[in-house]
A and B are shown apart, each in its own frame.
Chain A
Amino acid sequence: MVRPFRNVNLLCGGILVLVIVAAALLSLVYTPYDPNRMNLSEQFLSPQSSHLLGTDQYGRDILSRLIKGAVNSLVVGWVAVGIGMGFGVLLGSFAAYWRGWRDEGIMRLVDVFYGFPAVLSAMLLTSILGPGIINSMLAIGIFYIPIFARLTRGASLSVWERDYVISARAIGQRHRAIIWHTILPNILSPLIVQATVQLAIAILAEAALSYLGLGTQPPHASWGRMLNEAQTFMEISPGLAIFPGLAIAVAVLGFNLLGDGLRDLLDPRLTRGRR
């Protein structure tokens, strides 16, 4: 096993994620200014001591909006991954348990949606359900189900063949108990790694949806939405277009590195394979 502090990816990713999570938690109790409060006498201020990252076209404090935006991104990411993982693990576990035509049926259905871009699917769903943060979480989450279903099925199949599972079956343990107590704990590592990576992708997808106006709705702060608004005023205030993008990049980089680091930590065989 790679030791946690020698694992550069885990360390850097962990620190970045910690910063984002801390900012999000902090925003629940404190932000330098009210992120939605407009002050037209302070439009387009450049970074200065009173507004560390400056203000936007409505005179709103950019730092406060960025910090508030972190909550948004993390909540969308976690809920989307929760939906995808919850249903995906259920489907994948049963497919691996049932085998035969039911397994084949589930997996063919999963294959259809596998690889379908989350942004496109989310656009499609939000076009019907209407724009908004809840619908974008739902839309991204639904299209994560196939990813987790395939991963769970693949990992479960090999665990079902292990001696300790065969022993558990031989002593008459109920199959549901075997799935819950034996199979799932043994496939947890790849699931955690995948969840971390999908979280990063969900943050990107949410930012894209909000940029297009289909995700978080104004006046609530969202990094994608901030970029959309910034584009109009880029000539006057270029900083508006830089900070929200940086925030997205830092969050995604953090979760990606954390995912890589966790993979190195939990499954060293993969690390050797990947080199």
Chain B
Amino acid sequence: MFVFLCKRILILIATLLLVSGAIFIVLHVIPGDPAQLILGIQETPETLHELRHKLGLDLPLPVQYVKWIGELIRGDLGRSITYDVPIASLILSRLQVTIPLAILSLLFAVIFSIPLGVYAARHRNRVGDYGVMIFSQLGLAIPAFWAGILLILLFAVELRWFSAGGFKLWADTPWGAFKSLLLPALSLGLIRAAVLARLTRSCMLEVLGEDYIRTARSKGLTEQAVVYKHAFRNALIPVVTIVGLQMGELLAGAIVIENVFNLPGLGRLIFLAIGQRDLPVIQGVSLLIAFLIVVVNFSVDIVYGIVDPRIRAETVRS
């Protein structure tokens, strides 16, 4: 276990360095000068020189990268050009929207998908199964942002149960804040549910065909006990892994959904920063999102290694 963990941590560090390098290169090397991009039409030789110096762009690229990494390790993501505040505090304030949104949509996805998947597997090739498969195909085809627009149309425009967008602060009204996240989370969650329902179904079918299930049935166990005690638990392992691995998709979905519902989260922050050419913010937020994805993948790997010793052995051997 120790060797496995060490190997995974080394890979994690290498991946984080590569990811940060990639983001740095994308934003600094292609094409030309970020300072010029930021200044746009306000560019004069003086302002350009001043901004290049302020951003440290007059230093050689490798020096800039090492300096940036050093600041990152100290938790300093730099300052926003538009808001003139530390990016870390900007991100922290936006996380109170994005993190609950991600958790809530994951919760919706799991609540909808797992019972549907189990039901479909138990009623394979019957009407219910076909229904779940059709739901899953539709869910894969409908963009989350369109689902969001349809939900606004129904619940905000027609029924007037929810507001069409915006966010109430947790500190002011916790219920209001929760309510403003419900529709966005539902639109993100329903799409994820389609993927997970399909996966749960195929995992359940796989497990239900195993020898130990036949043994459990031949012992005279009730169908409920066979399905929920023996099959469900085993089928859940790959499902949980995929739930973790979907974090990236969820964050990407959140970026668009936050813009549909006008929520002041990370997605809205990076989107506005792109419009305002606030390069340090774009760099900081994309790095954070990339890190979150890498760290979640790493955690899934570790949990999977703990649950399934075969994976642990394979990593140590390679």
Q: Which residues on B sit within 8 Å (CB–CB) of A116?
A: 248, 290, 293
B260 touches A231 (CB 8 A): yes
- Min distance, Cβ B9 to any Cβ of chain A, angstroms: 15
Say whether, besides A115-B297, A123-B255, A129-B30, A204 and B15 are in contact (CB < 8 Å). no
Q: Which residues on A sit within 8 Å (CB–CB) of B37?
A: 128
Q: Which residues on A sit within 8 Å (CB–CB) of B14?
A: 108
* Contact size range, B: 35 or more
Bits for B276-295, please: 1 = Cβ < 8 Å to A, else 0: 00000010001001100100
Which single residue of chain B is at the shortest CB-CB distance from A275?
B205
Flag whether B149 is at the interface (Cβ < 8 A).
Answer: yes
- A214 to B274: give the CA distance in the assembly, Å: 10
Flag whether A211 is at the interface (Cβ < 8 A).
Answer: yes
Segment at the interface with B among A25-33, A36-44, A188-196, A234-242 = A234-242
B260 touches A256 (CB 8 A): no
- Min distance, Cβ A41 to any Cβ of chain B, angstroms: 26
Q: Which residues on A sit within 8 Å (CB–CB) of B135?
A: none
Q: Which residues on B sit within 8 Å (CB–CB) of A252?
A: 140-143
A230 touches B255 (CB 8 A): no
Q: Which residues on A sit within 8 Å (CB–CB) of B251?
A: 117, 120
B149 touches A208 (CB 8 A): no
Flag whether B245 is at the interface (Cβ < 8 A).
Answer: yes
Is chain A's binding surface mostly helix, strand, loop or mixed? helix
- Min distance, Cβ B273 to any Cβ of chain A, angstroms: 8
B157 touches A123 (CB 8 A): no
Which single residue of chain B is at the shortest CB-CB distance from A251?
B141
A119 touches B23 (CB 8 A): no
Which one of B30, B142, B249, B293 contacts A128 once the chains associate, using CB atoms below 8 Å? B30
A249 touches B27 (CB 8 A): no
- A72 to B80: give the CA distance in the assembly, Å: 35
- A190 to B153: give the CA distance in the assembly, Å: 40
Partner-B contacts on A (CB < 8 A): 108-109, 111-113, 115-120, 123-129, 200, 204, 207-208, 211-212, 214, 227, 230-231, 234-235, 238, 241-242, 245, 248-250, 252-253, 256-257, 274-275
Beyond the given pairs A117-B249, A119-B252, 11 more chain A to chain B contacts, judged by CB atoms under 8 angstroms and listed by A's residue number, are A109-B18, A113-B22, A115-B245, A116-B290, A117-B248, A123-B270, A124-B23, A212-B256, A214-B274, A245-B142, A274-B202
